[in-house]
Structure 1
């Protein structure tokens, strides 16, 4: 059995939308109160508290704050579980020697979801039935399979979505071929396959950049806290949400095609977060003045790298392959894949601006295509002579 999440758009009435927003605000209050209690208890006693101890206080809280009676009990319990998980993650990072990131208080604009973890929800005749909320209209664009386990209500701008986690029986899917394909991720092109095929980069963010710039300028002219300011913020959020949805849709389509076609998909083991770091400042040792460091060009490259969504693309392929059961997604060491000739194995040093691979052996092809072939051969463990013979 596997877990699968279905995400659908909700169309609540004005009264229902107000109820959902009110519930979200109360959950945010409870989260911050639970976090404050843990901080104060550790400050004054030197000991922390647990989820069970805080959950036992909920009946007493409802006696003091009667509005909490209008929220399903398991929703309130799940809020306390979020606090528990936040601290577990904090202590786990401390033990691992990573940056701890102490749990922080959540503002009303940051806390944007609440969950029915076991009960209090159902689907009936094209409507989502929520305890203490009512029957909400849902855009159910696909059939929900399996047994529903949890129901999460999520706010994105002025829109509401529901995420239904279902336990489904995984059905193996056989790809069209039993081939192995190497994939070189790029900026000008999203990906180049070892077969020579190219996945174009639609550059969704770049195409919307002018609109976003105008919306940002309009926002900067508004008085903070005014109704016009809120409308400008909503417009910015709407534009960013559109870009994100376009990117997700495009990556979903291509990851599905790859998983349906190939038995083994090979990527480079890259870290986009490291590749998109800003340029380090250069300082003259004698005068102390800062020297040109190419920060402007690096900033533009970083923006393009993040616009492609490499990590998301790989993650989409991985979970689809896992669901298929007969497909595997693997990663190889990326070192020298662009410099080594896939024909003879000679190292041909190339500048990043050189987009064509040309070797003394007479082997010529696109730089990214050459890298994709090297990525595939590296996974197969082939030498360059064996790759040519095949």
Structure 2
């Protein structure tokens, strides 16, 4: 960052770029290399940082934008060294403006405003707890017997996607305009499907957070599961993104989300606790071989997930109470964590 004045002196085209934007690029590069060395040290797949050409560099950030960057009528945004740019403000923003990023998605440009808001009051308590069992047949099934539809958005767009991908494969010149246009059509379809999926996740997460104080779900290794035979279907439902959105909304609303161990939740009878593979009569039916209890297999699994979550919360509460009530001996220091 200290060498940026020398860069501007040697390359006059950088004079027209805001100084903080250039500094943010250096911070991004530093973050990429720190992440690379962290993965190397941990023995993970490292992934050396790659150079991003102008066709792959899709955003730039103003770390300290003016609080009046957006005009009063909401029709313009001021970008230093660029000027006023017309925008369509899809919703008013509030709070202190922290960063302003300009992002390109295909042929569309977006101004992303990051704002700092005061802590809101939590939602009123509902005294309701729920467990959810996610899957590919249904998006999720709750312990209350609610079934959320799996919209299978990627599968719905696969026919159109197959047509445009074949058209792209018939364009041999990768640097030609026809190839670029065909590639843009493919990217637009993928982008539309991703946005539809994101919208569904936000809507369903909001419903759960409004209705329940405690939400329990399986702690799934989504990345590992996606490498199996159902990889395409698992990528389509995107459980990882849904759990992340659910946790964020719950924290904002004062709710609690607990991820429990998923092992044997689909084979255990929630009535008598008998666990056996044969209890799962089929994909949809559960029949306990010990007590004879019958129920939808996903609802039974969701009830087991809720029971595990309630036990975990009870243990945490009892541990916190014990720690608060236990007096610390005088003259002794708190032991350092090794």
TM range (shorter): 0.7 to 0.9
Identify the match of residue 128 of structure 2 among 179, 197, 210: 179
Q: What are the residue-to-residue correspondences of 1:226-237 with 2, within 5 Å?
A: 226-237=176-187
Q: Distance in 1 between matches of 2:87 and 2:281?
A: 49
Identify the match of residue 140 of structure 2 among 191, 205, 229: 191
Runs of at least 5 residues in structure 1 that lack an aligned partner in the other structure: 1-54, 279-297, 383-390
TM-score (ref. length: structure 2): 0.86
Kindly indicate whether the alpha-carbon contact (under 8 Å) linking 2:65 and 2:97 is maintained by their aligned counterparts in 1.
no
Kindly indicate whether the alpha-carbon contact (under 8 Å) linking 1:90 and 1:103 is maintained by their aligned counterparts in 2.
yes
Q: Post-superposition shift, 1:139?
A: 2.0
**SS of the residue aligned with 2:185?**
helix
- Matching of residue 330 in structure 1 with residue 277 in structure 2: no
Kindly indicate whether the alpha-carbon contact (under 8 Å) linking 2:281 and 2:287 is maintained by their aligned counterparts in 1.
no
Which residue number in structure 1 is paired with residue 209 of structure 2?
Answer: 259
**SS of the residue aligned with 1:174?**
coil
In angstroms, what is the RMSD of aligned CA positions? 1.7
Which residue number in structure 2 is paired with residue 109 of structure 1?
Answer: 55
Aligned residues: 306
Q: Distance in 2 between matches of 1:107 and 1:336?
A: 48
Q: What are the residue-to-residue correspondences of 1:372-383 with 2, within 5 Å?
A: 372-381=302-311
Q: What are the residue-to-residue correspondences of 1:1-390 with 2, within 5 Å?
A: 55-119=1-65, 122-124=69-71, 125-126=73-74, 127-175=76-124, 177-224=126-173, 225-278=175-228, 298=229, 301-324=230-253, 326-350=254-278, 354-360=283-289, 361-381=291-311
Q: Distance in 1 between matches of 2:300 and 2:70?
A: 51
Which residue number in structure 2 is paired with residue 282 of structure 1?
Answer: none
Q: Post-superposition shift, 1:352?
A: 8.9
Kindly indicate whether the alpha-carbon contact (under 8 Å) linking 1:175 and 1:259 is maintained by their aligned counterparts in 2.
no
Q: Distance in 2 between matches of 1:89 and 1:265?
A: 32
Cα deviations by residue, 1:100-151 (Å, 9 ceiling, x for unpaired): 2222212333321110011367101211111122222222122211100111
Structure with the bigger RCO (C-alpha within 8 Å, sep 6+) is 1
Q: Post-superposition shift, 1:176?
A: 5.7
Q: Post-superposition shift, 1:344?
A: 1.2
Which residue number in structure 2 is paired with residue 50 of structure 1?
Answer: none
Q: Post-superposition shift, 1:175?
A: 4.6
Which residue number in structure 1 is paired with residue 317 of structure 2?
Answer: none
Q: Distance in 2 between matches of 1:366 and 1:138?
A: 50
Runs of at least 5 residues in structure 2 that lack an aligned partner in the other structure: 313-338
Q: Post-superposition shift, 1:349?
A: 1.5
Q: Post-superposition shift, 1:92?
A: 2.1
TM-score (ref. length: structure 1): 0.75
Kindly indicate whether the alpha-carbon contact (under 8 Å) linking 1:222 and 1:228 is maintained by their aligned counterparts in 2.
yes
Q: Distance in 1 between matches of 2:26 and 2:219?
A: 37
Cα deviations by residue, 1:37-85 (Å, 9 ceiling, x for unpaired): xxxxxxxxxxxxxxxxxx1211121122111111111001110111111
Distance 1:61 1:352, change over 3 A: farther
Distance 1:353 1:275, change over 3 A: farther
Q: Post-superposition shift, 1:359?
A: 1.9
Q: Distance in 2 between matches of 1:307 and 1:92?
A: 30
